[in-house]
Amino acid sequence: MLRSEVIMIWKKKTIKDLLPPPVKVSHGEYSMILSAKDERGRPSEELIQMSLKAIQSAISIDLQFLQDEHANLWPGEHYRLLAAFCQILNPALVIEIGTSTGLSALSMLPFFSGDLVTYDIKNWHSYPNTVLHTSDFGRLKQVVGDLGDLEFFQTQKDLIQKAEFIFIDASHDGALEKRILAHLEKVPFKKPPILFFDDIRVWTMLKMWREITHPKLDLTSFGHWSGTGIVELTKNH
């Protein structure tokens, strides 16, 4: 076989053809195991202690009322851990970036007394599988817009600076998350917030997560199988 023919065959194959999953699973994502000694953004003692409290709290949290097969699966899904962080922090304002079906918002809302503002580029009722209803809105509000766009972000800055807990579940391409983080780093927060990132183990998110220099902690074993990480957004970065 000619070298050019080999190259053509190689180009036609996907990564799943070249590196098939070693076991049969309902859903898999490609990732990589990375060394720890050169990891930037080591977790602070405060972040570790906070995470231990949240994990302990997640054990007793029950999300069966949501009647969704994913909501109460823990560890494996992140919904109970999200609820637990809201429970132990009781933030005055939670910001969610990525409304999607609304399952994350409904998981968090009963476990703290503050407000939850969820951002998305689409209106919540345009998602065919949404679990949200008009009656859910009160403490919960949606704002439609792209927080990756600096011009739009600036219009929301006064609200965002009040947030104490920010859940980032955006495009998972790494680029949007990096832009959002850069915008957040310029916000004069009243109190440095905790950022909760989804899907940090997905291939396209590895670089973004790796490059974060703020104190951070990978909580995948107690969160979403595709990756869960928290970040303490410190002022000195």
Domain ranges of the chain: 41-232
Burial of 43 (0-12, 13-18, 19+ CB in 10 A): buried
Q: What integer pLDDT is reported at residue 190 of this predicted model?
A: 87
Q: Decide if 99 contacts 124 (C-beta within 8 A).
A: yes
pLDDT > 70? residue 12:
no
Q: Who wins on pLDDT, 75 or 235?
A: 75
Give the integer Cα–Cα distance in Å for 86 and 181. 21
| Residue 161: both structure tokens together | 């600076």
Name the strands in the sheet holding 93-97, side by side, starting at the edge strand that comes first in the sequence: 140-144, 115-120, 93-97, 165-168, 194-198, 228-232, 216-218
DSSP-assigned beta bridge partners for residue 230: 196, 217
Query: The domain at 41-232 falls in which architecture?
Result: 3-Layer(aba) Sandwich (3.40)
**pLDDT at position 6, please?**
46
Residues facing residue 197 across a β-bridge: 168, 229
The pLDDT assigned to 5 comes to 53
**1 falls in which pLDDT band (50, 70, 90)?**
very low
Residue 237 pLDDT exceeds 70: no
Residue 219 has pLDDT above 90, yes or no: yes
Out of 31-40, 86-95, 157-166, 206-215, which region has the weakest mean confidence (pLDDT)?
A: 31-40
Predicted pLDDT at 78: 98
Looking at residue 224, what DSSP letter applies?
Answer: B
Collapsing DSSP to helix, strand or coil, 2 comes out as coil
Chain centroid to CA 187: how far? 19
CA distance 105 to 118: 8
Q: Considering the chain, what is the average pLDDT of its residues? A: 93
75 cis-preceded (ω within 30 degrees of 0): yes
Judged on CB neighbours under 10 Å (0-12, 13-18, 19+), 52 is exposed
Q: Is 97's pLDDT higher than 80?
A: yes
State how far the alpha carbon of 202 is from the alpha carbons of 49, 73, 118, 140, in Å.
26, 20, 23, 29
How far out from the chain centre does Cα 178 lie? Answer: 13
* Pairing mode of beta strands 140-144, 216-218: unpaired
Give the residue carrying structure tokens 């709290």.
Answer: 57
Check: CB of residue 165 under 8 Å from CB of residue 87.
no
